[in-house]
Amino acid sequence: MKAATRYSAARCAALALCSVAGAGASLFLPFAIGRALDAVLAGHAAGHVGADATRWILVCTALIGASALLDACDGVLTGTTNARTTAWLRGRVGRHVLAVGPRATARFAPGDLVARLIDNAAHAGVAPATLAALLAALVAPVGAMVALALIDGWLAVVFIAGAPVLVLLLRWFVRVSSDCVARYQQVQGDIAGRLSEAIGGARTIAAAHTEDKEAGRVLGALPELSRQGHRMWRVQGRSQSQAVAVAPLLQIAVVAVAGHLVVQDRITVGELLAASRYAVLATGIGMLVGQLGALVRARAAARRLGEVLGEPATSYGAAELPVADGLLEIRGVKVTRGGRTVLDGVDLTVPAGGTLAVVGRSGAGKSLLASVAGRLADPDEGDVRLDGVPLRSLSREELRREVGYAFERPALLGATLEDTIGFGAPRPAPSRIREAARAAHADPFITRLPDGYATPCGQAPLSGGEAQRLGLARAFARGGRILILDDAMSSLDTVTEHHIAEAVLHHTPHRSRLIIAHRAATAARADVVAWLHDGRIRAVGTHAELWERPEYREVFGA
């Protein structure tokens, strides 16, 4: 929240000045009205309205006009400050998530990240404007108490006698609302995370006919969200109602004392009118409750954004790779997730210019190994080297230029299908994009579309296999020393997989390949097969050698 306030310091200062000036005009207006009333009464007693009354009436008119203008400026500044600060927060958190990399989703579910980036950033973005508004909201009651003291000290004494009740009410409101707002935002993030998971597995859910069960899982936290939301509004409503009960009593007390002072000729009728107005301003706790409520929500949202920003970004070195053929060495790699060791002492070598297939049952750690091999994740222990250089020592540009990836569910980024295949920097040439699409057998279904490669991604009716072929084409177009396929051909039919496997082995610019294989035919085409079992390498050899073992055949259901 401090960073957001610093970012909007200039606008926040202008907003504070505008708000304070508006509060000042509101404070001076009762005094001017009182003086105008006294002047009019004096002129009426004398039989004419004097210049003094006219002057004070003009002052009142000017103050009303100034208040309206300042309110308009306040509204414009508040809106622009909120929008700019929210945009800056979203940009900062988004860039940090990208800098952290895939490790960010290990701690925060994708849906929860989206909720923090959209909803929490919007709440935290109003903090600078709320602070400025809170300053003005404080100026009015404090200034009104000072004005009461200037009219007559007894008026201030009467108000101050009841002020502690208002202060205690505000303190209770901040303490209780902080807890329920934080809990509300947490539950909201949980629901967003579950919804994101359900959307990702929509096809599986539909195929299994478990829509009702999944809806129950996603919405299971809805009663808690409702409970915290109702609790939040009850807290604010109770504070408002208590303020409504206390404030009029103070106002009546101030007006009663002021009336007594008028009878004693200690103050004028105009000062009585001003005192009644100042009593209203001094008890304006409703405004304070609203501003404090917004500030509490902003602070809770900023705390959730701070958790994301507290995740350390992935660091890179400045080393460059020597001229070589893509020898990948994985040495003593150990990775723990959620208190469980997923990879334990893995030693593997992808031969330069060769192909290594990794096979194993579901949950054996294959995808995590693929992530570690290209530094989408860092091991807790051990090291990964490419042509003798540790991956941690490479620059981001060198690493992503030399390591290509294709996934089971590729993210189709870019405006068109051509942009999707050429996504990244530097962008491949159009001829290279089409060559990669032909190698991935994506060119036939792309050219059948009315707009071909210019078809917007959102308008392309793609099956799971076609989306995978686009992901493979993108990996082929990038080139590099090593290509890592993380279950990237699971949705392809047997014939298409055969052709693409041949393209991977013989027609891609990558010098070495690491393939997560689920089919025996894919493993059979590799030079070497690593059999991963419960996070450990159980055996390494050719597919034919390992096929002699019944346990290995069971991995493929044979």
Q: What value does the mean pLDDT of the chain take?
A: 82
Q: Is the pLDDT of residue 23 over 90?
A: no
Task: Report, as an integer, the average pLDDT of 474-494.
Answer: 80
Q: pLDDT, tens digit, for every residue of 243-263?
A: 655 666 677 777 888 888 888
Number of domain units in the chain = 2
In angstroms, the CA 367 to CA 259 distance is: 81
Give the model's pLDDT for residue 50.
65
Same domain, yes or no: 362 and 497? yes
In a domain, residue 271? The reply is: yes
Q: pLDDT, tens digit, for every residue of 450-467?
A: 889 898 887 888 887 888
In a domain, residue 315? The reply is: no
Pairing of strands 512-516, 482-486: parallel
- Domain of residue 190, CATH code: 1.20.1560.10
What residue numbers bound the domain in which 215 lies? 2-309
Domain C-terminal end among 258, 277, 309:
309
AA identity, residue 35: R
Domain C-terminal end among 309, 340, 372:
309
Same domain, yes or no: 288 and 161? yes
Task: Report, as an integer, the average pLDDT of 213-217.
Answer: 83
Q: Which residue has the higher pLDDT, 413 or 529?
A: 529
SS3 338: coil
Same domain, yes or no: 151 and 285? yes
Same domain, yes or no: 275 and 343? no
In angstroms, the CA 255 to CA 272 distance is: 7
Q: Which helix (H) or strand (E) holds 404?
A: strand 403-407
In a domain, residue 544? The reply is: yes
Q: Is the pLDDT of residue 49 over 60?
A: no
In angstroms, the CA 386 to CA 403 distance is: 10
What angle do the packed helices 51-100 and 9-46 form, to 10 degrees? 160
In a domain, residue 323? The reply is: no
Same domain, yes or no: 269 and 338? no
Same domain, yes or no: 254 and 378? no
Give the model's pLDDT for residue 233.
74
In a domain, residue 11? The reply is: yes
Give the model's pLDDT for residue 46.
59
Same domain, yes or no: 253 and 190? yes
Q: Which residue has the higher pLDDT, 156 or 345?
A: 345
- CA torsion 166→167→171→173, rounded to 10°? 20
Name the most confidently modeled range: 164-168, 200-204, 275-279, 525-529: 525-529
Residues 6+ apart with CB under 8 A from 406: 468, 471, 472, 474, 475, 483, 484, 485, 486, 488
In angstroms, the CA 520 to CA 145 distance is: 84
Same domain, yes or no: 384 and 302? no
Q: pLDDT, tens digit, for every residue of 54-84?
A: 888 898 889 889 888 988 888 888 888 888 9
**Strand partners of residue 407:** 486
In a domain, residue 317? The reply is: no
Same domain, yes or no: 412 and 514? yes
In angstroms, the CA 187 to CA 197 distance is: 16
Give the model's pLDDT for residue 462.
81
Q: pLDDT, tens digit, for every residue of 180-190?
A: 777 777 787 78
Q: Which residue has the higher pLDDT, 241 or 214?
A: 214
- In the sheet that holds 536-541, the strands lie side by side as 403-407, 482-486, 512-516, 355-359, 528-533, 536-541
In a domain, residue 169? The reply is: yes
Give the model's pLDDT for residue 463.
81
- Domain of residue 391, CATH code: 3.40.50.300
* Residue recorded with tokens 């108490």: 145
> Residue 289: which of 128, 122, 138, 86 has the closest Cα?
138
Same domain, yes or no: 271 and 342? no
In a domain, residue 319? The reply is: no
Same domain, yes or no: 386 and 421? yes
End-to-end CA distance of the chain: 59
Query: How sure is the predictor about 531, in pLDDT bands with cuts at 50, 70 and 90?
Result: very high
Q: pLDDT, tens digit, for every residue of 419-434?
A: 888 887 678 888 888 9
Domain C-terminal end among 281, 309, 337:
309
Q: Is the pLDDT of residue 399 over 70?
A: yes
Q: pLDDT, tens digit, for every residue of 543-556?
A: 999 999 999 988 88
Q: pLDDT, tens digit, for every residue of 295-332?
A: 777 888 888 888 888 888 888 888 888 888 889 999 99
**Strand partners of residue 404:** 483
Same domain, yes or no: 160 and 219? yes
